Amino acid sequence: MNGPVQCEWVERPRSAWRALPAARTAAPLAAVTALLLGPPPAQMRGAAHVAPGAEKLLDAVVNISTNQTLKGSEGAPLPKVPKGAPFEEFFEDFFDRKGGRGPGDRKVSAQGSGFVIDGKEGLIVTNNHVIEGADEIIINFADGSKLKVDKVLGKDSKTDLALLKVTPKKPLAQVPFGASGKMKVGDWVMAIGNPFGLGGSVSVGIISAKQRDINTGPYDDYLQTDAAINKGNSGGPLFNMDGEVIGVNTAIISPTGGSIGIGFAVPSDAATIVVEQLRQFGETRRGWLGVNVQSITDDLAEAYGLKENVGALVASVAPEGPAAKAGILDGDVIVKFDGKDVTTMRGLPRLVSQTQIGKEVDVELLRKGQRRTVRVAIGRLVEDAKAAPAKTSKRVNPKSRGGKGNDKGGNIRPPGQSLIGLVLAPLTDDLRSKHGLGPNVKGVVVVDVDPASSAAQRQIKAGDVIVEVAQEAVTSIDDISKGIERVRTAGRNAVLLRVEDGKGDMRFVAVPIE
């Protein structure tokens, strides 16, 4: 397994447990080193006084066990394992635990971690994937007591967070959130959780990296740590040395399923916003700017004349959205949002989503080499649906209508002029029909691409429409030719094209000028 995995609990077969040999030479070697070199500097001695801090925090960290009924087909055969086979014990253990060998439904259980943020109200934070689909959720406390979850107050799949409610008989121990933004790479952290069902396990490490994108969702911004995090730690807290929660442990990268020192936690700065919304509304209410953005590649930075490939390039603007009302245009490069630098394309959606709905913010952008600032009133993002569709046109049946330029099989021969590896042609009814382009699409259509060209390497394909060249509208092949010549005269090595595909999606592409 090469990618990140969620660190939920799994039962290990008995054969997996092995005693570790004693490190017979460790103590003498350490003593000799200390005598020769003296004590290390304070910053190299590791986290001091971990035990007192961990002792105070253990009561607020909980183990979460869930039960779920899975629907099964009656009479479905179970695997048969020969008597005495190496995995006989594992299969017996597995299927007995999953509800026996009878037909029909079966119950499964799983475990994870969580932590109390409000002892009086009985509010507990965990991962969404820990409780997803559960019929029953039980909270197990460090003193051996148990409470059944009364209600899942809310959950958010995009950040993998959930907020649970129990009714405590007495106030529970609780822990506060800290500021993850203040953490630096190399700072000491402590994880407490329920790895492999071993509740109350404490591990210590450092922040290995920040702002990690591991491709689990649109708002990936993980803290990376080498503190031991295993399956079952999911939903548990990552503490700073002041006993504040600065992350919610969520995923690991491991080829074996065990810790190899690469774990990820949702930063508290993001988690506190989501948790507070779940507490107030039972759902997330994210900000919405109303733009589709793309990354600034080295080629695009060259085409735009930018010194660095930073910022978020606006590929399209939603009609009547907040950005459109503020005057943000296609082709603008957003470099700062509400006073915060936008260093990558993925950074902008995170900043926008965490902004209060209705708040007016300054957006700094580059337009044709000029820096300007616009004021935007942030709207509300409609989850799991587009709040306002991007500019699209009515599509027509892609089947050919016949007519001039068609061969007997109804395929349109690629006429037109070749530029930068693209065979281009004016839009006609036949070409619109062939490529499913609506009547409102304007520009020049690509009818063929040289497979060895730079344009092909940048995923331009037949059926794409060139709607702009060097941020100027295109109505003819001659417009493209003149645009390329202007870029060449300006001394740039790439021309900026704005391309629309058959689905109506817009993007900018920088194609080197041969």
A 10 A CB-CB count for 80 gives: 7
Distance CA 101, CA 105 (A): 11
Distance CA 315, CA 39 (A): 57
Which residues, including other chains, have CB under 8 Å from residue 145's CB and lie 6 or more apart? none
A 10 A CB-CB count for 333 gives: 22
Which residues belong to the active site?
Answer: 129, 160, 234
Which residues, including other chains, have CB under 8 Å from residue 19's CB and lie 6 or more apart? none
**Residues 509, 499: contact at Cβ < 8 Å?**
yes
Distance CA 484, CA 400 (A): 32
At 222, the amino acid letter reads Y
- HSE (side-chain half, CA atoms, 13 Å) at 109: 14
E-strand stretches of 319-369:
333-337, 340-341, 360-367
Could you identify the residue written with the tokens 């989850």? 383
- Please spell the DSSP secondary structure of 146-196, one letter per residue: EEE--EEEEEETTTTEEEEE---SSPPP---B--GGG--TT-EEEEEE-GG
